[in-house]
Structure 1
Amino acid sequence: MAVAPLTAAEPSAALQQLSGDPQQPESAAAMGDLKRWFNGPDVDKHTAVAASLVAALGLAVAGWGTWKSAQTANDQLKQSQEQQQAASRQQVARVNFWVEGGKTIIANRSADPVGIYFSLLAEDESDVSSPYQWLSKVPPCTKVVLPVRLIPRETPLASLLVIDTEGNGWERDYQGTIQPARDDVSIAVAPWVVDHLGEKDVKVSDSEPCGAA
């Protein structure tokens, strides 16, 4: 039986099987499968998933920016409140009282008017004080000498309730301690009932130096 000779253009099937096709490696076949999958009928689905991921990332970035802005605003508000409280406290530090010649003197050495209530120590009970009574709205740089009628010697002044220009209440006791007014502070007489600064035996004069504690 005659066998036709092999030519260079017609490699044997066996040789092709042994050597493999160098034009179609397995990695290339896998890449082709991936391309066919991505570009197949579900391409719209893949695009939607990618768009959703991008949108989610954008929302996350926007949310972080909003939170950061709110945090900065809160910090600025807190700082502003602290500065305002410090300024109010400084004003109240310029309002004090003392006893001179048996009479009680209250001085407002701040550059702004303040509302003042006063409280008396109970007789023989130094740790108990009466409800606050309205004195007056004391002008800036003003000294007020109160008669014994208002501040008896046996029940000296215990503390002042000072209302600053911002409407905040502060308590200053006979030891000079200043603190924000308590929520349950007791007030005996409403401001519109009586104003002691207009009474004849209450002496009002300028206080120097003004602006000093």
Structure 2
Amino acid sequence: MIKSVSYKRHRFPPEIIAHAVWLYFRFPLSLRLVEEMLLERGIRVSYETIRRWALKFGPDYTRRVRRKTPSCRNIWYLDEVVVTISGQKHWLWRAIDQDGYVLDEILQSRRDTKAAKRLLRRLLKKQGCLPRRMITDKLGSYAAARRQIMPAVEHRSHKGLNNRAENSHLPLRRRERAMQGFRSPGGLQRFVSGFSAVRNLFVTPRSRRSAVATRLHRLNAIAAWKSAACIAQ
């Protein structure tokens, strides 16, 4: 059972802390911009304090956020995006499903079969079942890893079919620009864990296209966020 979030020895109310962390993970804002937005509401807090809040409370909140139930009917879209940290190239391997829900992300220094196999093993452990189909670009490492990890799964390899995964990188790219890059591999891995969990909570299912349904989904997501932060609604 996940314990409730403790705000002991913090002089700011939980509502302010949770709101600041939500702003930071939900929108492509730098810490200084979050500081400015809070100041406009009469809340004087430094960007460094917001950074500490994100580091301390972000993992607690995201562990408590409701998660999508794994389904064997899911289609996995896999792709990797290059991230330069301190002059060195790293690859963020990502997997999403047909609804745009981020299933997993892992930063690795390799772009080969070993790295692809690690991603597939993590996905199988988290999802608990095989997907209906796997879609990737033409990188040969995916095919080699699939043959060894889940040979019975259908695999479609085509750049055009994988646009959904490639488009899912855009929110992270916008955040990368706002933050002027990431400082360390560990920092990036910690950030994407919270960033994607919040994005998953607010992403609108493809079946809900009307304005009313979208608005209702967002209101439910906000309520779920407050519940995860242990804030009275």
Q: TM-score category by the smaller chain? A: under 0.3
Q: If the length of structure 2 is used for normalisation, what is the TM-score? A: 0.22
Structure of higher CA gyration radius:
1
Normalized per residue, which structure has more helix?
2
Q: Relative contact order, CA 8 A, sep 6+: which one is greater?
A: 2
Normalized per residue, which structure has more strand?
1
Q: If the length of structure 1 is used for normalisation, what is the TM-score? A: 0.23
